[in-house]
Structure 1
């Protein structure tokens, strides 16, 4: 990956397109699960989302292997995909990008209000 790819994120775009192409060959229920997994995991991303790429890769590999074995999505991921995603990223005590932005906003407001006294 060169500097320009890293700055623009084009390397991640290529990687995500590759993931999507691999997901398209999965059975329909697995494709739906993949879309749910990606939507639940992106809220755990940092600003660029680079921290999620290995996790997304592993999740897709899990779906590919288990679909080849003929297992159902529920057998693999459980009843709640959101809980699966939380366990996957270790949600205990982790902050989403929204939490980080909220914390930064609160600090800025407190600093501004503290400076007005």
Structure 2
């Protein structure tokens, strides 16, 4: 990764955070909780993928339609996030695969 890639990445992240800050306050709170949760358990490609920008798109559409954020995602933020990433490999999956590859099988 070169310096230009780092600079471009920072520009994209700043633009992304500006979009989040433009959301209504309740949307911002829920987005930050989702982001925190996804960075803990989320998919491997979270920083470079389209998941976070997609959530902001979804939230912008909901806010424009006058809906409350919980009308869009429900009351269980973690369950909503889990559903979003159900088919994506996570850091936990990689860890488990590595652990399984290293541990000897019984009887070996």
Tell me the TM-score range normalised by the shorter chain.
0.7 to 0.9
**Unpaired runs of 5+ in structure 1?**
none
Q: Which residue of 1 aligns with 2:97?
A: 103
Q: Which residue of 2 aligns with 1:41?
A: 38
Shift of 1:99: 2.9
Q: Which residue of 1 aligns with 2:2?
A: 4
Closer, same or farther: CA 33–48 of 1 in aligned 2, 3 Å: closer
**Contact conserved, 2:34 with 2:77, CA < 8 A, in 1?**
yes
Looking at structure 1, the residues matched to 24 and 78 of structure 2 have their Cα atoms a distance apart, in angstroms, of: 20
Structure with bigger helix share is 1
Normalised TM-score (structure 2): 0.76
**Unpaired runs of 5+ in structure 2?**
none
From 54, 57, 75, the equivalent of 2:50 is 54
Q: Which residue of 2 aligns with 1:32?
A: 29
Q: Which residue of 1 aligns with 2:68?
A: 72
Normalised TM-score (structure 1): 0.71
Looking at structure 1, the residues matched to 83 and 29 of structure 2 have their Cα atoms a distance apart, in angstroms, of: 19
**Contact conserved, 1:19 with 1:57, CA < 8 A, in 2?**
yes
**SS of the residue 2:2 aligns to:** helix
Aligned length: 105
